[in-house]
Amino acid sequence: MNEVFHGRCQCGELSYKVVGQSLTLFACHCTDCQRQSSSAFGMALWLKVSSLEIVSGQVKTWTRVTPSGQRMHCDFCPTCGTRVFHRRAGQEEFVSIKPGTLDNTRWLRPVAHIWTASSQPWLNFDEEDLLLQQNPSTFDALFEIWKQRRQAT
């Protein structure tokens, strides 16, 4: 069953629509995500690129090297600077939405926390969440946990 959700940047110039299946949602505690989000962690909602449609506006992209040494394409609104999407080089079939840009965020609950080695010491994690000290070598476990939790709701 396809999910449909909408999102936008902070100023509203860039908006998007998703029609498809979300694949996983996790929180990343690496220091790069802490800096990018100006918070304790960043979040990533993964889906297939084919599910994403930009409804209005255009993205501007810059590329960075992640803590695990991979290249990440970061898409943002050129007007307000809101980071909206991420795409890992070599893994172009997936896109990561910054889920705080969704119009409805009430259903968001990450299934995993990655880079917990650099998480803030005051954070308390849920016992049923997958905790990984660094980047996983594969995201298959995160996909499976997400699928199970989405089917249960």
102-135 per-position pLDDT tens digit: 999 999 999 999 999 999 999 999 888 999 999 8
Q: Report how far residue 71's alpha carbon sits from residue 67's, in angstroms, rounded to the nearest whole number.
A: 10
Of the candidates 108, 112, 93, the residue with the CA atom closest to the CA atom of residue 28: 112
Q: Summarize the confidence of residues 36-57 as an average pLDDT.
A: 93
For residue 83, list its beta bridge partners.
76
The architecture in CATH of the region 3-152 reads Alpha-Beta Complex (3.90)
| Claim: this prediction has a pTM higher than 0.85 | yes
All structural domains of the chain with their residue ranges: 3-152
Q: Report how far residue 102's alpha carbon sits from residue 88's, in angstroms, rounded to the nearest whole number.
A: 21
pLDDT at 98: 95
Please give the single-letter amino acid code of residue 68: S
8 A C-beta contact, residue 112 and residue 26: yes
Residue 1 has pLDDT above 80, yes or no: no
Q: Report how far residue 152's alpha carbon sits from residue 29's, in angstroms, rounded to the nearest whole number.
A: 27
For residue 146, list its beta bridge partners.
none
Q: State the virtual CA torsion across 60, 65, 71, 72 in degrees, nearest 10.
A: -40
pLDDT at 104: 94
What's the chain's length in residues? 153
> Who has greater pLDDT, 99 or 34?
99
pLDDT at 151: 81
pLDDT at 34: 86
8 A C-beta contact, residue 80 and residue 10: yes
Q: Summarize the confidence of residues 60-80 as an average pLDDT.
A: 90
Q: Which residue in this structure is represented by tokens 């970061």?
A: 74
Percentage with pLDDT > 70 across the chain: 99
Q: Which residue in this structure is represented by tokens 């980047």?
A: 135
